[in-house]
């Protein structure tokens, strides 16, 4: 069985529409929305709202871990638009998020097994899911006699991305799976080699609960995304092959997993 796996789509709808060609099963591990494009500041919701110069400065501050300054810059930009308060900001952004989701879910292959990324808005997904799209989070599905487990979202971080799950809630989702043959998550287990982004030059947030789970249950594979330029794209934990499926927006290509 050939499985195509994507993660970190970030607006790449045209490439997504072709990502299931030649596969028997298609999986998407989230981060569909493009708020900021770290490689091209002219793309994304922030650039559309505030301009490319603002987006570039905002990206530079976040890359330097100067998050409070980045938030202050953003607050000034909202004020310049005449939009005050979180409710007002969300009202402006929601229409832009919805427009991206409409395009992305229209391009999403069918059938598809999906889970959320940290840069996703789960409450909006039901408005766009089509027949053949199945969302799994803290759940298991059986495929060709194998148990596939899914856990979506990220963990609290200085980035304050939209779908960050409290650590204990995330751990409960992981524990609810029980043993699986293939584990699919958006974020990696908490190992330095898998959580360090060599281009951003910082450690992102990985999950200790996932690391403990893999050590205990030893699934055949653990597939994830989140880290766009990882120090190591794959490594073994016991018999488990841990694999970063790649930055789909950057490559336009799914990861191909051949299962017996």
Tens digit of each residue's pLDDT (9 = 90 or more) over 27-80: 999 999 999 988 899 999 999 999 999 999 998 998 888 999 999 999 999 999
Structure tokens at 125: 């997904």
CB 137 within 8 A of CB 152: yes
Judge whether residue 24 has pLDDT over 90.
yes
Judge whether residue 99 has pLDDT over 90.
yes
Q: What is the reported pLDDT for 239?
A: 97
CA distance 182 to 68: 39
182 pLDDT band (50/70/90 cuts)? very high
CB 58 within 8 A of CB 52: no
Strands (E), 182-239: 182-185, 196-197, 202-203, 221-224, 234-237
pLDDT digits (tens, 9 = 90+) for 102-151: 999 999 999 999 999 999 999 999 999 999 999 999 999 999 999 999 99
> Pick from 184, 218, 211: which is nearest to 195 by CA?
211
Give backbone dihedrals phi and psi of 180, rounded to 5 degrees, phi first: -135, 165
CA distance 35 to 47: 8
Domain count, the chain: 1
Beta bridge partners of 242: 222, 235
> What is the domain extent for residue 253?
2-258
Average pLDDT taken over every residue of the chain = 96
Q: What is the reported pLDDT for 11?
A: 96
Judge whether residue 260 has pLDDT over 90.
no
Judge whether residue 178 has pLDDT over 90.
yes
Residue with tokens 């908490």: 190
CATH number, position 179: 3.60.21.10
Q: What is the reported pLDDT for 116?
A: 98
What distances in angstroms separate CA 240 from CA 78, 154, 169, 218, one per listed residue? Answer: 46, 21, 24, 5
Structure tokens at 109: 């292959």
**Is the pTM of the predicted complex or chain greater than 0.75?**
yes
Q: What is the reported pLDDT for 95?
A: 92
């Amino acid at each position: 069985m050939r499985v195509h796996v994507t993660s970190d789509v970030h607006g790449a709808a045209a490439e997504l529409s072709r990502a299931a060609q030649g596969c028997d099963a298609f999986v998407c591990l989230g981060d569909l929305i493009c708020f900021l494009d770290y490689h091209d500041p002219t793309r994304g919701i922030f650039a559309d709202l505030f301009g490319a110069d603002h987006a570039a400065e905002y990206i530079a501050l976040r890359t330097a871990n100067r998050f409070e300054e980045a938030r202050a810059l953003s607050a000034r930009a909202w004020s310049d638009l005449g939009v005050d308060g979180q409710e007002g900001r969300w009202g402006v952004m929601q229409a832009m998020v919805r427009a991206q989701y409409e395009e992305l879910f229209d391009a999403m292959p069918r059938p598809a097994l999906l889970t959320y990324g940290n840069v996703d808005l789960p409450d909006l997904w039901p408005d766009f899911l089509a027949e053949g799209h199945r969302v799994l989070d803290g759940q298991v599905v059986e495929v060709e006699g194998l148990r596939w487990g899914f856990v979506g979202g990220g963990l609290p971080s200085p980035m304050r991305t939209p779908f960050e799950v409290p650590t204990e809630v995330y751990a409960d989702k992981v524990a609810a799976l029980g043993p699986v043959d293939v584990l699919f998550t958006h974020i990696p287990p908490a190992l330095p080699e898998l959580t360090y982004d060599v281009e951003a030059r910082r450690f992102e947030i990985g999950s200790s609960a996932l690391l403990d789970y893999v050590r205990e249950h030893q699934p055949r594979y653990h597939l994830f995304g989140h880290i766009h330029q990882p120090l190591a794209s794959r490594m073994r934990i016991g018999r488990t092959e841990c694999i970063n499926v790649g930055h789909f927006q950057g490559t336009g290509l799914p990861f191909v997993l051949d299962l017996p």
